[in-house]
Structure 1
Amino acid sequence: MIWVAWRQFRAQALTGLVLLAAAAIFFLVTGLRMHHSYAADMAACAVPNACDGSTPAARALGAQFSQLQRSYEPMIQLLQLLVIAVPALVGIFWGAPLIGRELETGTHQLAWNQTVTRTRWLAVKLIGIGAAAIATAALLSWLMTWWAGPLDDLTGDRWAAMTFASRDIVPLGYAAFAFALGTTLGLLLRRTLPAMAITLAVFVAVQILVPALIRPHLLPSTTTTFPINQVSTSQFHGLRGSQTDFHFDLPTPPGAWLTSQPPVQNSSGQVVRIDDYPDCFPSLNGGDDPDLGQIGACLAKANLHETVTYHPASHYWPLQWMETGIFLALAGALAGTCFWWIRRRQN
Structure 2
Amino acid sequence: MTTLSATPRPRTHPTPRRTGPGGLHRTLLRTHRPALLLTGVVLTAAAAALGWLHSLGDEARAGVSACATPASGVLPSCAAVDAITADETYASGLAVIATVLSWALFPVAAWAGGALTGRELENGTAQLAWTQSVSPLRWLAAKLALPAALLTAGTGGLVLLNLWARGDSNPNLTGDWYDADVFVSTGPTAVAYALAGLALGVLAGLVWRRALPAAGVALGASLLLHGFLERRREDLWPALTRVAPHSIELPRSAFPLSSDTPNGAQITRTTFHPPSHFWPLQYVETGLLLAVAAAATAAAFALLAHRLP
Residue of structure 2 equivalent to 1:163: 182
1:86 deviation in Å? 1.9
Gaps of 5+ in 1: 227-231, 237-249, 267-301
Q: CA RMSD for the aligned pairs?
A: 3.0
Contact map agreement 2:204 2:214 (CA 8 A) in 1: yes
Q: Secondary structure at the match of 2:32?
A: helix
Match of 1:258 among 256, 270, 274: 256
Q: Does 1:109 align with 2:127?
A: yes
Q: Does 1:210 align with 2:208?
A: no
Q: Tell me: CA distance 1:144–1:21, structure 2 relative to 1, closer, same or farther (3 Å).
A: same
Match of 1:4 among 13, 27, 31: 27
Q: Secondary structure at the match of 1:325?
A: helix
Q: Secondary structure at the match of 2:103?
A: helix
Residue of structure 2 equivalent to 1:292: none
Identity %: 30
1:172 deviation in Å? 0.5
Residue of structure 1 equivalent to 2:36: 13
1:314-334 alpha-carbon deviations (Å, 9 max, x no partner): 221111111111111111111
Residue of structure 1 equivalent to 2:59: 37
Q: Tell me: CA distance 1:345–1:152, structure 2 relative to 1, closer, same or farther (3 Å).
A: farther
Q: Tell me: CA distance 1:203–1:40, structure 2 relative to 1, closer, same or farther (3 Å).
A: same
1:161 deviation in Å? 1.6
Tell which deviates more after alignment, 185-194 or 21-30: 21-30
Distance 1:150 1:343 in 2: 50
Tell which deviates more after alignment, 164-173 or 310-319: 310-319
1:89 deviation in Å? 1.1
Residues 1-347 of structure 1 aligned to structure 2 (within 5 Å) = 1-33=24-56, 35-38=57-60, 54=73, 66-68=84-86, 70=88, 72-154=90-172, 157-213=176-232, 215-226=233-244, 232-233=245-246, 236=247, 250-252=248-250, 255-262=253-260, 264-266=261-263, 302-347=264-309
Distance 1:164 1:212 in 2: 13
Q: Tell me: CA distance 1:66–1:124, structure 2 relative to 1, closer, same or farther (3 Å).
A: same
Distance 2:62 2:256 in 1: 32
Distance 1:175 1:132 in 2: 10
Gaps of 5+ in 2: 1-23
1:101 deviation in Å? 0.7
1:171-200 alpha-carbon deviations (Å, 9 max, x no partner): 010000011111110110111112212222
The residue identity in structure 1 corresponding to 2:35 is Q
1:207 deviation in Å? 2.7
1:135 deviation in Å? 1.9
1:41 deviation in Å? 6.4
1:142 deviation in Å? 2.0
- The TM-score with structure 2 as length reference comes to 0.79
Contact map agreement 1:223 1:309 (CA 8 A) in 2: yes
Distance 2:92 2:199 in 1: 32
Q: Tell me: CA distance 1:149–1:66, structure 2 relative to 1, closer, same or farther (3 Å).
A: farther
1:162 deviation in Å? 1.8
Distance 1:116 1:177 in 2: 26
Q: Tell me: CA distance 1:317–1:303, structure 2 relative to 1, closer, same or farther (3 Å).
A: closer
Q: Tell me: CA distance 1:39–1:217, structure 2 relative to 1, closer, same or farther (3 Å).
A: closer
Q: Tell me: CA distance 1:85–1:179, structure 2 relative to 1, closer, same or farther (3 Å).
A: same
Q: Tell me: CA distance 1:39–1:265, structure 2 relative to 1, closer, same or farther (3 Å).
A: closer
Aligned residues between the structures: 279
1:35-73 alpha-carbon deviations (Å, 9 max, x no partner): 23156669xx9xxx9xx9856xx89xxx99751255544
Contact map agreement 2:60 2:87 (CA 8 A) in 1: no
Q: Tell me: CA distance 1:225–1:16, structure 2 relative to 1, closer, same or farther (3 Å).
A: same
1:153 deviation in Å? 4.8
Distance 1:19 1:303 in 2: 56
1:227-282 alpha-carbon deviations (Å, 9 max, x no partner): xxxxx23xx3xxxxxxxxxxxxx2335633212224x331xxxxxxxxxxxxxxxx
Tell which deviates more after alignment, 154-163 or 124-133: 154-163
The residue identity in structure 2 corresponding to 1:15 is L
1:139 deviation in Å? 2.1
Contact map agreement 1:119 1:343 (CA 8 A) in 2: yes
Q: Tell me: CA distance 1:98–1:150, structure 2 relative to 1, closer, same or farther (3 Å).
A: same
- The TM-score with structure 1 as length reference comes to 0.71
Q: Secondary structure at the match of 2:269?
A: strand
Contact map agreement 2:54 2:167 (CA 8 A) in 1: no
The residue identity in structure 1 corresponding to 2:289 is F
Contact map agreement 1:258 1:310 (CA 8 A) in 2: yes
The residue identity in structure 1 corresponding to 2:257 is T
Contact map agreement 1:27 1:144 (CA 8 A) in 2: yes
The residue identity in structure 2 corresponding to 1:86 is A
Residue of structure 2 equivalent to 1:245: none
